Copies of this chain bind each other. A is one copy, B any other.
Amino acid sequence: MLRLSKRVEYGLIAVRHIAALHVGTVVTAKEISDRYHIPFDLLAKILQRLSKSGLVIAQHGVKGGYSLSKSPDQIPLSLIVNAIEGRQVVAVCISEKNEDCRISETCTIKSSLFKIQNNVDQIFSTMLLSEIV
């Protein structure tokens, strides 16, 4: 409960590493995987998601690799987290669409959980990648 997934941890480590590079240089998934002892296949998928979201830029082929798409001080951690895991909510009734909580009708704590959700969102949207490099 309330635990970050390994995906997000690995993603943060990877993005932080990429952010610490000199601009213009790329780094390969293999290099990051080796450096931090992260399972290669898993890390690869994470980087693919980050690439798909546009947060990092992927360079195919030999001499390829990843680089950052914008300045680290323009990237709140929420962007990274959302790219990897999608929007995360503290309770199922908070996602826009889904209302599949059995006791939703009689629930008395929805508004409180909304507050908690906002505070959690705040944490990730105010911390910038530039703060953690």
Which of A's residues lie within 8 Å of B, judged by CB?
A: 1-5, 8-9, 12-13, 16-17, 35-38, 85, 88-92, 102-103, 106-109, 111-113, 115-116, 119-120, 123-124, 127, 131-132
The residue of chain B having its C-beta at the shortest distance from the C-beta of A104 within the complex is B37
Complex Cα distance, B90 from A12, in Å, reads: 14
Instruction: State the copy count for this chain.
Output: 2
Quote the shortest CB–CB distance from A133 to chain B (angstroms): 9
Complex Cα gap A4–B132 (Å): 26
Residues of B within 8 A of A109 (CB): 9, 12-13, 16, 132
Tell me which residues across on chain B come within 8 A of A16, comparing CB atoms: 108-109
How far, in whole Å, are A132 and B110 apart by their CA atoms in the complex? 10
A92 CA to B3 CA, complexed, in Å: 8
* A7–chain B nearest beta-carbon distance, Å: 8
B-side contacts of A124, CB under 8 Å: 116
Q: Which of B2, B89, B102, B113 contacts A37 (CB 8 A)?
A: B102
